[in-house]
Structure formats: structure tokens, C-alpha cells
Amino acid sequence: MPENLFKVKKEEYMLPGNRACQGCGLSLAYRYATKALHQKTILTIPASCLTVLHGLYPTTSVMIPCLNCTFASTAASAAGLVAGLAATGQTDTTVVAFAGDGGTYDIGIQALSGAAERGTDFIFACYDNEGYMNTGTQRSSATPLGALTTTTPILTKVQHKKDMLKIMEAHHLPYIATTSPAYPIDLYDKFVKAKRIVGTRYLQIQAPCPPGWGYPPRDTVKIARLAIETGIFVLFEIEDGKFHFTSRSKTIAQRGRRLPVVNYLEKQERFQKMSMDQIESLQKMVDSKWQEYQKKAEG
């Protein structure tokens, strides 16, 4: 581990004393994303938890230049930066959009699909905390089946999570990757790799949220790890259409042993009202996704 660990830059580009919650999964992920991206990068971010992490006027806690944009416009904002930089000869800069699941799966999907279809040369990173956490845990299309949110307060969410990765895959991108704060080196490596690729690159980070998911802040890494162990969240890359498992998910795929999803669910208050039927349905969904990925990995 140490050799691996020391290839990561020691310098911090997300500074201490920022406004992220205790044990924030996004914060941990962002720490490594900024380490990987910091050189010659311009960020654009919509209204989200990340806006708060970046800080209130007149101070910011992130050492990468950033243009805030409206909720629906993230990928278009990136496209404007790319066009503006190209038009003014500043072509050595990487443009990175960083949005939550609301800003990606829901209100941001039109601009994202448009920018991806045009092959805009930028990285779009979605930190998926599975709901509108910045406004106080409302349901999004990324919220998983059976989760309690403030807009599914009694019946829980009755639909499965949208498969955003499949939607992005349909755009034939040069690089798609999933990553998790439980595996910071994997996350760092994927951002470093994405920075070197030309075209639209899509990264999705699972970002556990202690207040929104209902678990103690100390368990963020454990929860993120359990998501991988149960196959709820799978680490992979799709490079020019070629799928391969990475990091811990690769090991799980080789050994062929996953934990039941209930091990992940029982640790979070948001799933406390989940019915047996819902748990079964989620397990089936995870199993069939896993099989789909394995088929893809086999080619």
C-alpha cells in the first residue's frame, strides 16, 4: 500500500476548514480528484453540495479556478469554456465539470447528452450521493429502490435507480469510469487517466452521505466499501467501448463472491422501511447487472 499511496501528490488542493459535512464522501473523493486534476484545469460546477464545499464569497477552499453555473447548464458551461479557450488560443487547459446526481441524472441530462454527442473535449464527473442532499435529501432518479427521502417519506422510493452509465455508454465515449472514495488510489488514477484522454470523458463517483443516508460519519469508507463488496456499486472502466472491471471489483469478479445486498442496506437508516419484496427486487437487479457486466468483461 505505501508505494501505491506515495505516488499520490501530498499537496492538498482542497483546503482544510471547508464547509463540507463531517465524513462527507464527496469531500474525500474530491480531495483525490483535485490532486489528479490540479494542473492546467478549469472547473465548472452547478448548484450542489460542491458549491458549498467550494465556499461562500469572498473565499474559496479549492485551489483550482472554477466557474459556477446554473443547475441545468453544467455540461453546456463546460462546452462554452472549451469553445472560449479554443477561440482565444488557450488550448492546453482541461475543462472539468463536476455535478451531483441531480445535476447529472435529472436536470443536467439534456446539456450533458448534448455536450457528449458533440464530442466536447472535457471531463464530466458525477458525484452520486443518490439524492438532493444539498437541499435536504429529496428523491432523485439516482435514489435507489426502497430508500426513504424527504419526498418519499412513507412509501420509500418505488423505482430502481436510473442506469446513467448505460445512457452515457450509448454516447460512444472514449472513456467511462466508475470510482469510489473507498479506493482513493483507484479514483486518483482514473482522473489522471481521464485528463490525458481527448473527447468526452465521464466519471461516476459513488459519494456516501452520512446525514442523507443515515449512518455515522465515521462509516463513510465502510459504507462505500460495502457497496463494492455487495455489487451495489461496481468499479470499472469502459475505454473506447471495451469494458473491464478494476480495483476491488476486479478481484470480486475473479473470485466470484459477492456479499448479499442486505449487508449494505442494514447499515443505513434510509433503507429501514424497505420491504422484503423490495430487498429481493434490488438483489435481483444487482445480480442481473453483475451478469451483464461479466458478459461485457468477457467481450
Partner 1 sequence: MEKKDENISAMSTVAVGEAGRTGDWRDLKPVINHSKCIPTVKNKAACYLCWLYCPEGVIKTGIPVEIDMDYCKGCGICAEECPAKAISMVPEGDNDE
Partner 2 sequence: MSKTIIMTGNTAAATAARLCRVQVIAAYPITPQTSVTETLSQYVESGELPAQYVRVESEHSAMTVCISASTVGARAFTSTSSHGLLYMHEQLHWAAGSRLPIVMCCVNRGVGAPWSIFNDQQDSIAQRDTGWIQLYCRNNQEIIDTVIQAYRIAEEVYAPVMVCYDGFVLSHTMMPVAVPQADMVDSYLSPYRPHTILSPDNVRNINPVMFAVLRKNSAGVLCDGYMEMRYKLQEALEKAREVIVEAGRKYSELTGRDYREMLWSYQDKDAEIILTGMGSIASEATVAVDMLREAGIKAGVVGIRVYRPFPRAEVQKALGKAKAIIVLEKDISYGYEGALCSDIKAALYGTAINAPLHNIVAGLGGRDVKASEICEAVKKSLAEMKGQESRFKTHWLNCRQ
Binding residues for partner 1, rule: CB under 8 A, are 1-2, 5-6, 10, 12, 14-20, 22-25, 27-28, 31, 54-63, 181, 184-185, 210, 216-222
CB < 8 Å & 24+ apart, contacts of 246-253: 246/177, 246/186, 246/190, 247/183, 247/186, 248/182, 248/183, 248/186, 252/228, 253/293, 253/294, 253/297
* Per CB under 8 A, 76 contacts partner 2: yes
68 lines the binding site for partner 2 (CB under 8 A): yes
Rounded to an integer, what distance in angstroms lies between the CA atom of residue 256 and that of residue 77? 42
Minimum Å gap between C-beta 240 and partner 2 is 24
Q: What is the closest distance, in whole angstroms, from the C-beta atom of residue 209 to partner 1 in the complex? A: 12
Candidates 4, 7, 22, 39; binder of partner 2 (CB under 8 A) is: 39
Task: Give the H or E element holding residue 295.
Answer: helix 276-298
With CB under 8 A as the contact rule, the residue among 3, 11, 16, 88 that binds partner 2 is: 88
Specify which residues 202 forms β-bridges with: 124, 176
Residue 258 DSSP one-character state: -
Q: How far is the CB of 77 from partner 2 (least distance, A)?
A: 5
Which of partner 2, partner 1, none interacts with 138 (beta carbon under 5 to 8 A by kind)? Answer: none
- Least Å distance between CB 267 and partner 1? 12
Q: What does 73 interact with, of partner 1, partner 2, none (CB < 5 to 8 A by kind)?
A: partner 2
